Each structure stands twice: as structure tokens, then as C-alpha cells.
Amino acid sequence: GIQVEQSPPDLILQEGANSTLRCNFSDSVNNLQWFHQNPWGQLINLFYIPSGTKQNGRLSATTVATERYSLLYISSSQTTDSGVYFCAGRTGNQFYFGTGTSLTVIP
């Protein structure tokens, strides 16, 4: 299977700051998703983004499929953005998850 590397592993931000999370894949994927895991453990869909750029409010994502990476941008962070962010890429039938970025936003 493919390896999925997420960086940074941990991130602490002051409320209002911006951040960029990165996801690198060891091989090509044919689709890619970003998730936010809430404190109760549920994975919440943020973006389904095989390529290109999408925006949803304060969050946006860019996937450069030819270079096998994706970026998640969080602007004007809020305390409710805290949690773990995962990317996952599909190749063939399988989804491969990264180990996540743990984000803490302090007031």
C-alpha cells in the first residue's frame, strides 16, 4: 500500500492565526479526502478533492495530484477548529489514512 505522511504532527495556534497542513503520498491516488475528527471520535468530511482547489468558509484545500500532495488551509482559526485532521487517499479499492495533525487553538 501507499504511505501517507502528514505534517506537522502537532500544531498550537493562537485564536485568529492562519495555518497550513500538508499531506504527502508515496504514490498516485485517484481521490483524496480531508477529515476533522471531533472530540467524540467522529470523522467529519471537510473536502473531497482529487485535484484543484476548493473553499468552504474559512477552510480551503488544494491538491496537486501530479506531485502527490495536498494542503489544507485554515484561516482565522477558532477554538472549535481544535482536533485532529486526517487526509486519506484512495488507490484501487482502498483508502489510506495519514497519522493526522493534532491542532490546538488557544483563546
Partner 1 sequence: EAEVAQSPRYKITEKSQAVAFWCDPISGHATLYWYRQILGQGPELLVQFQDESVVDDSQLPKDRFSAERLKGVDSTLKIQPAELGDSAMYLCASSYTGGEAFFGQGTRLTVV
Work out whether 2 is an interface residue with partner 1 (CB under 8 A).
no
Work out whether 98 is an interface residue with partner 1 (CB under 8 A).
yes
Q: Phi/psi of residue 66, each to 5°?
A: -65, -25
The burial of 77, by beta-carbon neighbours within 10 Å (0-12 exposed, 13-18 middle, 19 or more buried), is given as buried
β-pair partners for 97: 88
Output 13 or 89, the one with its CB closest to partner 1. Answer: 89
Output 13 or 34, the one with its CB closest to partner 1. Answer: 34
Residue in this structure with the C-alpha cell 498516485, named with its chain if needed: 28
Site for partner 1, rule CB under 8 A: 4, 30-31, 33, 35, 40-43, 45, 48, 86, 88, 90, 93-95, 97-100
